[in-house]
Structure 1
Amino acid sequence: MTDAWRPIAATLADEGRRLAWARIVLGAANRSPVQVSALTARAQREVRALERAGLVTVVDGAVEPADPFTPLLGHRPAASGIDRFVREGRIAVWPKRPGDRAALLAWAAERALPAGTTAPEAAVTERLAAITDDPATLRRDLVDARLLEREADGSAYRRP
């Protein structure tokens, strides 16, 4: 994790700078940007501190707000589908809703065996171990959901 947020937090910890930044942001929102030439010496110092922190930019004498937050927060779209339950290719959370659970089991079945193929129990268990901490339980869940078929003696599995 980067410490790039520290200068921003330190700058905004000062009440005068925080109020100056608020005036600048509100001025930009109202299409009446703050002009550096109209500021007192103290307010100009606050603007320079805000600029060093990346909170504002000065363009042609007008102070404009900047956005240092988006890069810091590493904006990522919200996870959807099974991505809500899978982290780095492994099952991190078991869904509670039956529809989500069925989707996650279908995803796991695809990783266990290609459709229409048969594999020994050890190979299926090894493939499932790559995506979960409990491959035996997942294997049983896949059989219960009829996503895998098990030989009577348990020696092999087939994906219909």
Structure 2
Amino acid sequence: MALNWLEVFAGLKNPGMRATLGLVLSDQREQLEQNSATTKNLSRWQSIGLLTERGGKLVVDDDALSQALAAHRKPAEDRAGIQRFFDGPRLRTLPARPEDRRAVMEAVRHAVLSPGERVSEAQLGDRLRVIHDDVALIRRYLIDHGLLVRSIDGAEYSLPPGAEQ
């Protein structure tokens, strides 16, 4: 049975199910109160596929976890080029090579600013924060690489002239 991550997270959100799982994981099963709620929680974790019975004892189904992780692993070809620096929309690491850094910054620029658009520093910061926590560093790289221009008063950012095609 395939492990459904949505069901696992929903179970973890439920305080009773989380407490029950914690006692099972910490091998304190004797601490579990024998009542209908506990029985229901244990049954639910088994139906989700996270717990399985082995030798008369409930344990984490390591095989189900391994299969779920393998199913959600991105193929290597998806991580080629500049994508190897990203985890989804988040910039995981900044490239050391200047050519790679520029390519990553071009991708960031395309993600945060449209041609003809002018944004305030706060708006740009909000957009960059989705991509990386160090907004000032990324903004500086975008300016240094000539991918963004700042207004004379420093209040607005836009694409440089000629970059709007």
Which category describes the TM-score, using the shorter chain as reference length? 0.5 to 0.7
Query: In the alignment, is the contact (CA less than 8 A) between 1:4 and 1:72 conserved in 2?
Result: no
Deviation (angstroms), 1:135: 0.7
Deviation (angstroms), 1:154: 0.9
Indicate yes or no: 2:109 matched with 1:109.
Answer: yes
Which residue of 2 is the match for residue 77 of structure 1?
A: 75
Which residue of 1 is the match for residue 63 of structure 2?
A: 4
Which digits, 9 at most, give the CA deviation of each residue in 1:18-63, with x for residues without a partner? xxxxxxxxxxxxxxxxxxxxxxxxxxxxxxxxxxxxxxxxxxxxxx
4+ aligned runs moved over 4 Å, structure 1: 69-72
Indicate yes or no: 2:127 matched with 1:127.
Answer: yes
Residue correspondence of structure 1 range 8-19 to structure 2 within 5 A: none
Residue correspondence of structure 1 range 1-160 to structure 2 within 5 A: 3-4=62-63, 73-74=70-71, 76-78=74-76, 79-160=79-160
Which residue of 2 is the match for residue 25 of structure 1?
A: none
Give the unaligned 5+ runs of structure 2. Answer: 1-49, 51-60, 161-165
Match of 1:3, as an amino acid? Answer: D
Structure of greater Rg: 1
Deviation (angstroms), 1:94: 0.8
Quote the Cα distance in structure 2 between the aligned partners of 1:71 and 1:121: 41
Q: Indicate how the Cα distance of structure 1 residues 104 and 154 shifts in structure 2: closer, same or farther if over 3 A, else same.
A: same
Deviation (angstroms), 1:70: 8.2
**TM-score normalised by L of structure 1:** 0.54
| SS of structure 2 residue aligned to 1:82 | helix
- RMSD (CA atoms): 2.4
More helix by share: 2
Count of residues paired in the alignment: 98
Quote the Cα distance in structure 2 between the aligned partners of 1:76 and 1:152: 44
Quote the Cα distance in structure 2 between the aligned partners of 1:93 and 1:72: 22
Give the unaligned 5+ runs of structure 1. Answer: 7-68
